[in-house]
Amino acid sequence: MRLWSLLGMLACLSAAAQKPCSQASIYMPCELEFEIPAAAAGEHANPYASVSLWAEFRSPEFRTYLAHAFWRGGRKLAIRFTPTEPGNWTYRLTSNLADYNGRTGEFRAAATPPPAAFIRRANVHHWQYTEERKPHLYMGAEDAPGVPASAFAARGFTHLALRVLSREALPEPDRPDPALFEKLDARAYEIHSAGITVDFLLAASPDELRRLAPTPAHRERLVRYLTARYAAFNCTWQLVEEWEGQAGARELLKDFGLALKKMDPYGHPISTRARDTSAFLGRDGWMDHVIYGPGREELIAVEHQANTVPQVALIDASLAPDEFRRRLWNAVMSGAYPSMKGAVHPDSPNARAMEAWFRFMSARVRFWDTQPYFDVDGGRAIALPGLKTEDYELPATEYIVYIEKPGPVKLVTRKHDYDVYWVDPSTGEARREKKQWKGELYEASPPDSSRDWVLHLSRDGRKQGMLRSYKFESWPVPVQEPERSPQKAPFELVQPPMGASFAAGAPVPYRIELKRQTQGTRRMIYVLTGEIVQDGEGARYLAAGPEGTFTVDPVLLKSGSGALAVRLAALNAAGKLYLLDYVYTVKKQ
C-alpha cells in the first residue's frame, strides 16, 4: 500500500501541471489563465459569485463551444477547454471585466493520439467514443485515493467515480475552497490521462445539494462552476448517491440536471445514482442513461425491454467473491453494464472478477450489438441472434449464456457452424471444444458442476470479417410495446385487492398468482412499482418476486391521503413484457 500511495502522490503532482492552450492537443484539457486587474479587485470581493467571463471557441470545422471561466482563488481565473479537432482554433472573450471583454485569440491543436475521446450513447443500450466511432465497454469502480489511476486502467476499468462536493470543499454556498478543488482537478486529470472516463458524483444526497445551493441563483452558479472546471474532461455526471428517500428530490434533481444539460458545452452523459433506480426520473428530460442500485437485476431485466437508454448496474463491492461474481454476470444478462459500489483496490478479488469479465467481453464478444436473449433453458443469455426481414438479413453471430447453477442447458440458435467455448467467469479462461457445432438446438452440460460457467457459441470466422470495421445501428434493436390487457395476462395481483387502503410506512403483504399455465410462464420475473401521481414525487420501486411485502415510502405522500398507482411489470420466459396497473388508497399513519 505504501508503494501505491507514493506512486499516487507522484501521479497527482505531475497531473497538476496541465498545459496552456498554446500547447494543446485533441481531447486533452488545456487552459487560458487570467488575473482580475487590481483596479477591479475591489468590486469583486467574491469573484466566484460576481465575475462573469467566458470564451466562445470556434473549431477548424466551424463548430462552436462556449466555456465559462472558474475562480481559482485570490484574483486568479481560468478557462479550461478541450479541443475536439486538430488544427487552428479561435476564440472570443466576453466579460464584465473591461480588460478582457471583446478580446480574441487563437491556438493550434495537435493531432496527438489522445488516451481516449469523449463517450456517448450508441445502439440504444450501448456506448461509443465520439470521434473514433469505436465501441466503449463501460466498466466502473469508485476512486481509491492513493492508488494510481493507471492501476485501475491495467485491470480494464474504463470508469472511475470521483466524489466532488462536501462540507470541506464548499463550506457554505458561494464559497468553494480553491485548494481542495485544485487537488480534485489533479486527480481528475490523472484519471483522464489514463484513458478512463471520470464519473463526477456530485453529492451524497439531494439534501446535501440543497444545503450547498439553497436557491435557484446558487444552483446556477454552482453548475456553471462545476461545468467550467470539469466538463473539459472525458466524463459523465452523476448527481447524487441516492435520491428516493427525500421529499422534493425529483424537482431538485431536475433543476440540476437541466442546468448541466444547458451549460456543459460537450453534452456529456448525465444520470444519478440511486438506491433502486434512476429510471423514474427519465420523463423529466435531463437524463440519458439509467443507474440501478445493488441487487436490482429483476428491475433491470423488465425495464430493458421497453427503454431506449443504456443501463448501468451498481454491484456491492463488499460482497463475498462468489456472490459478487454472480451479481455481476446476472446484471449483464439483464442488459446492464457493471460498476462497483464502494471503495475497492484494483488488486482485490472482486476487482479481478471484473477484469475477467472485461477481458472476455472486449476480446471475444461484439458487446455493442448484444441484447438479452430468451430462447434458453438452464441459464440466462445475451446474444446477437440475427434478424431476417423482407428487406435484409443480419446473420446470427454469437450467444453468451451464464449458467449460475450448473446443469443441462438448452439453447435455440440459427442454423450455422459455431465454435464452442466454456468460460470460467472467475478467471476469464476459455476452453474451446475440438469440433464446431452446427444445428438449431444446442444441448450440453458444463465441464463440471462445482461452480458457475459461461457458454459461448461464436461464429469466429464471421466475426473476424465484421471486426474490420465497427458499425453502429446495424440492426433495429427490439424495443417492445408491452401487453397491457389484464385479460391477456396469464397472471394477476390478487393481494392486496384492487381499491384496498393501507398506511404509508407500514409493510403491505402482496401475492401474484398465475391464472393459467403456458410455455412462457415456466419462468416469470415480477416487479412492483408505485407512484402517488398528484403529489409529484415520482415513482418508486416496491418489490420483486411473486409474493412478499412492500412499503410505501411516506415521502411520496404530501397530504393526509392519496391514490397510489401500482404497476406490476412481468417478463416471461420468452421475453414478453406485461404491464398491469392497480389503484389503492394510502394514508398517513
Residue 105 has pLDDT above 50, yes or no: yes
The answer to whether the bond into 496 is cis (omega within 30° of 0) is yes
Q: What are phi and psi of 489, to 5 degrees?
A: -80, 135
| CATH, range 18-109 | 2.60.40.10
Per-residue pLDDT averaged across 100-125, rounded?
Answer: 94
So what's the pLDDT on residue 5?
Answer: 37
Alpha helices in 305-452 (DSSP H): 321-334, 349-364
Q: Give the separation between CA 187 and CA 535, rounded to whole angstroms.
A: 41
Quick one: CA dihedral 410, 412, 417, 423, positive or negative?
negative
Q: For residue 138, give the C-alpha cell.
A: 463501460
Cross-strand pairs, 126: 122
Q: In terms of Cα–Cα distance, which of 538, 553, 48 is closest to 257?
A: 538
Consecutive H or E run containing 206: helix 206-212
Query: Over the stretch 218-264, which tens digit does the pLDDT of each residue have?
Result: 999 999 999 999 999 999 999 999 999 999 999 999 999 999 999 99
Predicted model pTM: 0.94
Give long-range contacts, CB 8 A cutoff, 24+ apart: 443-447: 443/408, 443/409, 443/410, 443/411, 444/408, 444/409, 445/406, 445/407, 445/408, 445/409, 446/403, 446/406, 446/407, 446/409, 446/422, 447/422
Q: Is the pLDDT of residue 15 over 50?
A: no
CATH placement of domain 119-363: 3.20.20.80
* Lookup: cell for 418: 459455431
Q: Is 497 exposed, middle or buried (0-12, 13-18, 19+ CB in 10 A)?
A: exposed
pLDDT at 467: 59
State the architecture of 491-587 in CATH terms.
Sandwich (2.60)
At 145 the pLDDT is: 86
Question: Is 18-109's fold the same as 119-363's?
Answer: no
How sure is the predictor about 10, in pLDDT bands with cuts at 50, 70 and 90? very low
pLDDT at 131: 75
Cα pseudo-dihedral 483, 487, 489, 493, rounded to 10: 120
Q: How confident is the model at residue 378 (pLDDT cuts 50, 70, 90)?
A: very high
Query: What are the φ/ψ torsions at residue 50 (nearest 5 degrees)?
Result: -110, -25
pLDDT tens digit sequence for 334-346: 999 999 999 889 9
Give the contacts of 377 (CB within 8 A, at least 6 positions apart). Answer: 409, 410
Q: Give the mean model confidence (pLDDT) for residues 558-575.
A: 95
Write the burial class of residue 280 (CB in 10 Å: 0-12 exposed, 13-18 middle, 19+ buried).
buried
Looking at residue 281, what is its pLDDT? 96
Task: Output the nine-digit C-alpha cell for 169.
Answer: 470543499
Supply 557's cell numbers. 405522500
Per-residue pLDDT tens over the stretch 521-555: 999 999 999 999 999 999 999 999 999 999 999 99
Written as one letter, the residue type at 263 is M
Average pLDDT, the chain: 92
Residue 495 grid cell:
393481494
So where are the chain's domains? 18-109, 119-363, 373-466, 491-587
pLDDT at 463: 73
Flag whether pLDDT at 13 surpasses 60. Answer: no
Q: Could you give the percent of the chain with pLDDT greater than 70?
A: 93
The residues, any chain, with a CB within 8 Å of residue 541's CB and separated by 6 or more, are: 244, 276, 277, 296, 299, 527, 528, 529
Helix axes of 249-263 and 216-230: crossing angle, nearest 10 degrees = 50
Q: Quick one: pLDDT band at residue 402, thresholds 50, 70, 90?
A: very high
Confidence check: pLDDT of 575 > 50? yes
pLDDT confidence band for 16 (50 / 70 / 90): very low
- Span 440-444, average pLDDT: 95
pLDDT attached to residue 462: 78
Neighbours of 133 (CB within 10 A): 13
Residues 275-315 have pLDDT tens digits of 999 999 999 999 999 999 999 999 999 999 988 999 999 99
Residue 2: phi and psi, rounded to 5, are: -65, -40
Cell of residue 578, nine digits: 406485461
Alpha-helical (H) ranges within 16-97 are: 38-41, 47-50
Task: Read off the pLDDT band of 7 (50, 70, 90).
Answer: very low
Q: Give me the torsion for CA of 130, 134, 140, 144, rounded to 10°.
A: -80
Residue 288's SS3 state is coil
The answer to whether residue 12 scores a pLDDT higher than 50 is: no
Amino acid 6: pLDDT: 34
In the prediction, which pLDDT does 442 show? 96
Q: How confident is the model at residue 478 (pLDDT cuts 50, 70, 90)?
A: low
